[in-house]
Amino acid sequence: MTDTGPLFVSSGDLIADRRYHWALDHAVRGDLSGAADILSQTVELAPAFATAWFALGAIRDRLGDRAGAIAAFEKARDADPEDYLGARLQLARLGCGDVAPAMSEPYVRRLFDQYAARYDAALTGQLAYRGPAILRDAVEQAMHAAARPLRFPSALDLGCGTGLAGAAFRPLVDWLVGVDLSPAMIRQAAAKGVYDRLVTADLMDFLGGETRNAAKYHLVLAADVFVYINDLCPVLAAVARGLAPGGFFAFTVETYSGDGVMLLPTLRYAHGEPYIRRALKDAGLALASLSEVSVRSEKGVPVDSLVVVAQASTAPQAAVTSVE
């Protein structure tokens, strides 16, 4: 999923707000130069109008004015400390600032809240998304190789979204928990009726709470989630602490031929295979399988991805309790 554009946040100045909408009307009609001129006048009138600065950056970018786009996105970033609009990502895409900056919580929440109602149709229809089926196949193969029954007393779906992965794994799980940062996505997931527990929370905050409560999961899933997280090491370590002895962790990532982390033009992160292997080892997770796949398409072109299954140590742990 790519960003569909910022939601409108008023400048507090009625005239500036009207000019902003007038500029967007020009842009829709194809008059990008006119739109840029109006937005330039708008930000002169309201210099802290982050939404207008962001729109000006996007239009200048479309006009091929890289320097002007960077200048506008920097103003949007400075006027939007929480990076609700994602200006830091746009600057990185243009080669300015951090190469792969972290996405802010407000940005990710806004992105998914904005997209929730049409998420399923867009992913499965327009983007040919098949992550849950690929994950399930990988888990089934790992369980077969380990001579384990294909049944999990408890499972956790990280970044559960609207519940696509939950629906794929529900027949294999006795107790299924889903967590997502977006309240709108959680509402969509709840409507499917496949989860026993749903939580709206940041993934790291949730995993930290589960660890403190000594809850342990026999399976943890992350389908198309890590494309929104640049540094996977903390979350992999947190998952490892939340897995029951011998439990499995299955996830997908978009990838590229290099090492480390790269921000793609789609404003999603790609993680190199060497990086994934190191991060799993550092987290104390044993790699069960890693395969090159394509979990979705972008403009009709398959996106290079990895499907990964890792396993927790089988050593017994103290204070293991039910997740119910």
Q: Please identify, among 66, 98, 130, the residue that sits at the C-terminal boundary of a domain.
A: 98
Q: Is residue 187 part of a domain?
A: yes
Range 105-118 average pLDDT: 92
For 153-191, write each residue's pLDDT tens digit. 999 999 999 999 999 999 999 999 999 999 999 999 999
Please report whether residue 152 resides in a domain.
Answer: yes
Q: Average pLDDT of 1-22?
A: 74
Q: Within a domain: residue 19? A: yes
Q: Exposed e or buried b for every residue in 228-263, given b needs 16+ CB within 10 A? A: bbbebeebbbbbbbbbbeebbbbbbbbbeeeeebbb
Q: Which pLDDT value is given to residue 321? A: 36
| Same-domain check for residues 267 and 139 | yes
Domain annotation covers residue 149: yes
Instruction: Indicate the residue among 68, 98, 128 that finishes a domain.
Output: 98
What is the largest distance, in Å, between two alpha-carbon atoms of the chain?
A: 68
Q: What is the CATH number of the domain that holds 89?
A: 1.25.40.10
> Contacts by 16-19 with C-beta closer than 8 Å and gap 24+?
16/42, 16/45, 16/46, 16/49, 16/52, 19/45
Q: What is the pLDDT of residue 213?
A: 81
Structure tokens at 46: 């309201």
Considering the domain architecture, whether residues 85 and 211 belong to the same structural domain is answered as no
Q: Is the pLDDT of residue 8 over 70?
A: no
What is the pLDDT, as a whole number, of residue 4?
A: 42
Instruction: Answer with the one of 67, 98, 129 that is the final residue of a domain.
Output: 98
* pLDDT band, residue 281 (cuts 50/70/90): very high
Domains in the chain, number: 2
CA-to-CA distance for 18 and 95, rounded, in angstroms? 32
The backbone torsions φ and ψ at residue 174, rounded to the nearest 5 degrees and listed phi first, read: -80, -40
- Domain shared by 196 and 307, yes or no: yes
Instruction: For residues 285 and 154, state if they share a domain.
Output: yes
- pTM of the full predicted structure? 0.91
**Residue 315 has what pLDDT?**
55
Domain match, 75 and 156 both: no
Q: Is residue 319 part of a domain?
A: no
Residues 255 and 146 in one domain: yes
pLDDT, average across residues 44-52: 95
Average pLDDT over residues 204-227: 93
Same domain, 237 and 123: yes
Count the helix, strand and coil residues of the chain and give each as a percent rounded to the nearest 5. 45, 20, 35
Residues 144 and 207 in one domain: yes
Residue 60 CB neighbour total at 10 angstroms? 23
Residue 60 shares a structural domain with residue 125: no
Question: How far is Cα 19 from Cα 27, in angstroms, rounded to an integer?
Answer: 12
pLDDT tens-place string over residues 55-108: 999 999 999 999 999 999 999 999 999 999 999 999 999 999 899 999 999 999
- Are the C-beta atoms of 175 and 323 separated by less than 8 Å? yes
In this predicted model, what pLDDT tens digit does every residue of 171-180 receive, in sequence order?
999 999 999 9
- Domain-embedded: residue 55: yes
Closest C-alpha to 129, from 268, 240, 276, 275: 268
- In this structure, what token pair is assigned to residue 243? 């897995």
Q: In which band, very low, low, confident or very high, does the pLDDT at 288 lie, cut at 50, 70 and 90?
A: very high
Q: Which residue has the tokens 């380990």?
A: 146
What is the model's pLDDT at position 7?
60
Give domain status of residue 105, yes or no.
no
Closest CA to 184 of 122, 103, 114: 114
d(C-alpha 194, C-alpha 157), whole Å:
11
Show the domain range for 214.
117-311
In a shared domain, residues 75 and 127: no
Pair 163, 251 in one domain: yes
Question: 1 in a domain, yes or no?
Answer: no
The answer to whether the beta carbons of residues 69 and 58 sit under 8 Å apart is yes
- Tell me: the pLDDT tens digits for 247-273? 999 999 999 999 999 999 999 999 999
CATH code for position 138: 3.40.50.150
Average pLDDT over the chain reads 92
Query: Are residues 204 and 66 part of one domain?
Result: no
